[in-house]
Amino acid sequence: MGTVCDATFVNVEVTLRKLGKGARAVTGRLVRAPRKGSVVVIEFPDGMHEYVTTPVKRVLRLAGREVFYIETVNSRYRLEVRSSKPQVAESAG
């Protein structure tokens, strides 16, 4: 059997704002990063609800900043990284 090591992951707090009239911002923890063909998932602070986009078509990043513009199948978003904190997940055993 192999050994189980501690894993480090980054807890990223973001604000996702849909572009257009009357759009509201969603703030929470980024569960699934924006990647072409995948959906973006943001977990709300209550830990019980998530915001899920349609599949991503394109991701653009502003140079030198933690701001991304995301185009999905039917919407466009601005994703701003608020903070990122490395955390260690301890092994059980």
> Structurally, what CATH architecture does the domain formed by 9-85 represent?
Roll (2.30)
pTM for the model stands at: 0.75
User: What is the per-residue pLDDT across 27-79, written as a single tens digit (0 to 9) for each?
Assistant: 999 998 899 999 999 999 888 899 999 999 999 999 888 899 999 999 999 99
CA neighbours within 13 Å on the CB side: how many for 62?
A: 9
Q: Which residues pair with 56 in a beta bridge?
A: 72
Distance of alpha carbon 7 from alpha carbon 64, whole angstroms? 28
**Of the candidates 86, 83, 89, the residue with the CA atom closest to the CA atom of residue 7:** 89
User: What is the per-residue pLDDT across 2-12, written as a single tens digit (0 to 9) for each?
Assistant: 555 555 556 88
